[in-house]
Structure formats: structure tokens, C-alpha cells
Amino acid sequence: MSRSLRCAACATPIPDPRPTQRFCNKRCRDRANWRRSRGLPEQDPATKDQDLPSITKLDRQIAGKDRTIARLRAGRQVDRDRARAAEVAAAAADRRAERAIESMGRDQHAISRRNADLADALRQVRQEAKTQSEHVDQLREVLTRFRVDAEQREQAERQVPIQTIRRQWEALAARLARQASGKTALPLAGLDQEVVTTWQRLRQQTPAPSSSSADGKAPAPARPTRPTARPKRKNR
């Protein structure tokens, strides 16, 4: 800061002086012109000695004010630099935040798309699982029917030999009974007699079933064919 100009007549500091200004007011300018017209110095000697201490004091105060202003300006410049650095840092932080938000938006979009794909895949898997479950249920029903049919078939196959054996046993018992009751009765052995006795007892309890005759009689078993006798050889 430049020092203020002083009035050429009274040595008073001129606030905001113009480059060509020499006096503080019109009174000092007129007084200086009057003294100059009479060959006297422009400055009033009466006020010169009186104003010198105050002027010196004012100069020291002005110098102190100048230093304070310079210090304040320096501090203000530091504050401005700090504010500018803070603005730059804030702008950089804003740019980083914007990039982070954009990245998060892209990631969120990718996650949403992946979730949608996973949801579609899950629906397809559930539909396939439902279809497979229905197919498994159908296979179970078919397997159950097959098992029932197999059990019935196996039971029927087991019953066929029993019925055949029963018919053969009844036929044998009837033949033994005829042999024991005919005109040419033959004595029965112990086992044959037990067979005939059991057969007669069963016939008394329940009539014997018959598949060939309507009256309930067991069909007569076919007699075994006897082998043809070989002709005797003549003695030579």
C-alpha cells in the first residue's frame, strides 16, 4: 500500500488523493497561493512545528496499519489458496462420486439382469421338476399296476399246479376207491387206504369241483397205454 499524500500547506494526509492533488482542501490551496504571491513558503510555519509530532505518530500508525493490512492480505491470500484447493478437492470428490454412482448403476443393472435370468432359469427348472414329478407319478402308477398284475399272475401260476395236483390226486383216489369196491376188489396198502379215506372224508364235507362234468363227478383218468408185446422168437 502506498503512503497517502500530505497537504503542501498543513501537512495533513490527503485521503484518496489524485495524482496532481497537492492540498487537502480549498482553504489550504488559497492560503498557499496567498503565501506564494508574497514570496513565502507554501507551508505554514506556525502549524509545521505543532503538527510534526502528530505527523510522526500518524506515520508510525500508518506503517503499523500497512503491516497489518499486508499481513491480512497475506492471510487472505492463504485463505483463498486454501479455499481454491478445497474447491478443487471437492470437485475431484464430486467427479469420483459421479463415477462411483455410474459404476454402481451399471453394477445394479447387471445384477438386475442376472437376477432376471436366474428367475427365468428357476421358473424353467420348477416347470421341468413339475413335469418330471408328474411323469414320475405316472411311472409309479404304471409300476404299481405292473406289480399288481405280476402278483396276480404269480398267484395264478402258483394256483395252477395246485389245482392240477388236486385233480390228479382226486382221480387217483377215485381209481383206488373203485379198485377197492369192485367185484374184483384188491386189498389196499396203508398209504393207498389213507388216500381213499381222506378223499371220502373231503367229499362228505364239500363236493369235489369238476371242470368237465356238470354233475360234479371227477372225470375218469385215461388208462396208460400198454406197450405192445414183442413176438416170441422161435427156437432154431
46 or 140, which is more confident: 140
The reported pLDDT for the residue numbered 159 is 67
Number of domains in the chain: 2
Q: How confident is the model at residue 172 (pLDDT cuts 50, 70, 90)?
A: confident
The reported pLDDT for the residue numbered 151 is 86
| 96 in any annotated domain | no
Between CA 136 and CA 131 the distance in angstroms is 8
The reported pLDDT for the residue numbered 50 is 53
188 or 61, which is more confident: 61
Domain that holds residue 170: 160-205
- Of 53, 79, 105, the residue at which a domain comes to its end is 79
Q: pLDDT tens across 43-87, in order?
A: 656 555 555 566 667 777 888 888 889 888 888 888 888 899 999
The reported pLDDT for the residue numbered 52 is 57
Give the mean pLDDT of 125-144. Answer: 90
Q: How confident is the model at residue 236 (pLDDT cuts 50, 70, 90)?
A: very low
The reported pLDDT for the residue numbered 234 is 46
Among 74-78, 96-100, 164-168, 174-178, which range has the highest average pLDDT? 96-100
198 or 206, which is more confident: 198
| 114 in any annotated domain | no
Contact between 189 and 215 under an 8 Å Cβ cutoff? The reply is no
| 115 in any annotated domain | no
The reported pLDDT for the residue numbered 89 is 92
pTM of the complete model beyond 0.85: no
Contact between 40 and 9 under an 8 Å Cβ cutoff? The reply is no
The reported pLDDT for the residue numbered 56 is 65
Q: pLDDT tens across 110-130, in order?
A: 899 889 999 999 999 999 998
- Of 64, 79, 94, the residue at which a domain comes to its end is 79
Average pLDDT of the chain, as a whole number: 76
| 164 in any annotated domain | yes
Give the mean pLDDT of 102-114. Answer: 89
The reported pLDDT for the residue numbered 55 is 60
- Considering only 26-35, 40-49, 182-191, which range has the smallest mean pLDDT? 40-49
In residues, how long is the chain? 236
| 233 in any annotated domain | no
Contact between 7 and 26 under an 8 Å Cβ cutoff? The reply is no
- Of 57, 79, 101, the residue at which a domain comes to its end is 79
| 101 in any annotated domain | no
